Homo-oligomer: A and B are copies of this chain.
Amino acid sequence: MWKETAISNAEWTGVRLRDLLLLAGVNPNDTRIKHVHLEGADTDLEGQCYGVSITFEKAMSPETIIAYSMNGTEIPRDHGAPLRCVVPGVVGARQVKWLKTIRLSDVESPSHWQQKDYRVFATSVELGDELDWKSIHSIQEYPIQSAFCIPPPGTKVERAEGTVDVAGYAWSGGGRGIIRVEVSGDGGKTWQNAELEQDENQDIDHMWAWTLFRASIKIPEGVNKMELVVKATDRAYNTQPETPAGIWNLRGLINNAWHRVEVEITD
């Protein structure tokens, strides 16, 4: 159970996948090439290497790299040493660790992970239904999301403090920068803007790093608990759904509903 923690932010150094492909003689205008398959050295119980694909367009974008360094030092083994593909704006599942093979194709990777994993069924599909995997799309870019890291659920705050200090992150796929994070102390009835902290080197159309937020929410008189809520807006004015009801799906993927945390106010 990863909860809010299956996201991180690191500094990667490497060579552009584009430069590698051009050096290998790939014609960037070859319209037959639609996808780039990536395979790692790790295998499943049947000996199949982990494999997925990204679009040729994303592979040729300047931000997609084969990394050999993480946070200024060698990539740790758990993070994919010696080489890992880093595909900014795209979900982690496509950022293949222990990278071994790169292959061009007119179709998506035939691997289990591309074809039968990391795809989201409609709300109407239920346990026991026959699953038509071909009818649904592989996840590449994530939708907008945000979460509190501070305070954790169940925190007790003394009324005399006057405010509850909150902090967390927001992020959206495809490099779509976060333009606004709003927080609420009353379950979403009233809102205030949070203060944002963003990587100065990334513009609003190419914001691969997360946006950190912080705010102080006033403790209203007479309450014993507060339901903290956070929601974010990206530069394409995508927002998050209020509840998971409309995005519920069989495999529990991509729940980006408003994040809610309850805290107790003590005297």
Chain A residues in the interface with B (C-beta under 8 A): 55, 57, 120, 122-124, 136-137, 139-144, 173-174, 179-180, 182, 188, 190-193, 204-205, 231, 235-243, 245-247, 254, 256, 258
Cβ-neighbour of A241 out of B124, B140, B241 (below 8 A):
B241
**B239:A242 contact, CB within 8 angstroms:** no
Residue in chain B with minimal CB distance to A188: B246
Residue in chain B with minimal CB distance to A192: B124
Residue in chain B with minimal CB distance to A124: B191
**A238:B124 contact, CB within 8 angstroms:** no
Cβ-neighbour of A124 out of B136, B143, B173, B182 (below 8 A):
B182
**B122:A191 contact, CB within 8 angstroms:** yes
A205 to B141, CA, bound (A): 11
Q: How far is the CB of A51 from chain B (nearest CB, A)?
A: 21
Known contacts A205-B57, A245-B242; A182/B122 CB under 8 A: yes
**B173:A236 contact, CB within 8 angstroms:** yes
**A193:B137 contact, CB within 8 angstroms:** no
Known contacts A55-B205, A191-B123, A193-B122; A239/B247 CB under 8 A: yes
Known contacts A124-B190, A137-B179; A144/B238 CB under 8 A: yes
Which chain B residues border A241 with CB–CB below 8 Å?
239-242
Which chain B residues border A258 with CB–CB below 8 Å?
246
A55 to B94, CA, bound (A): 29
Cβ-neighbour of A235 out of B123, B141, B231 (below 8 A):
B141
Cβ-neighbour of A237 out of B142, B180, B239 (below 8 A):
B142
Which chain B residues border A239 with CB–CB below 8 Å?
143, 241, 246-247
Known contacts A191-B122, A205-B57, A231-B246; A140/B236 CB under 8 A: yes
Which chain B residues border A55 with CB–CB below 8 Å?
205
A100 to B122, CA, bound (A): 47
Q: How far is the CB of A251 from chain B (nearest CB, A)?
A: 13
**A179:B136 contact, CB within 8 angstroms:** yes
A242 to B247, CA, bound (A): 10
Known contacts A235-B137, A242-B246, A243-B242; A182/B123 CB under 8 A: yes
A174 to B236, CA, bound (A): 8
Can you list 6 A-B contacts with CB-CB less than 8 angstroms, sorted by A residue number?
A141-B235, A141-B237, A142-B236, A142-B237, A173-B236, A231-B246
Residue in chain B with minimal CB distance to A204: B137
Q: How far is the CB of A17 from chain B (nearest CB, A)?
A: 17
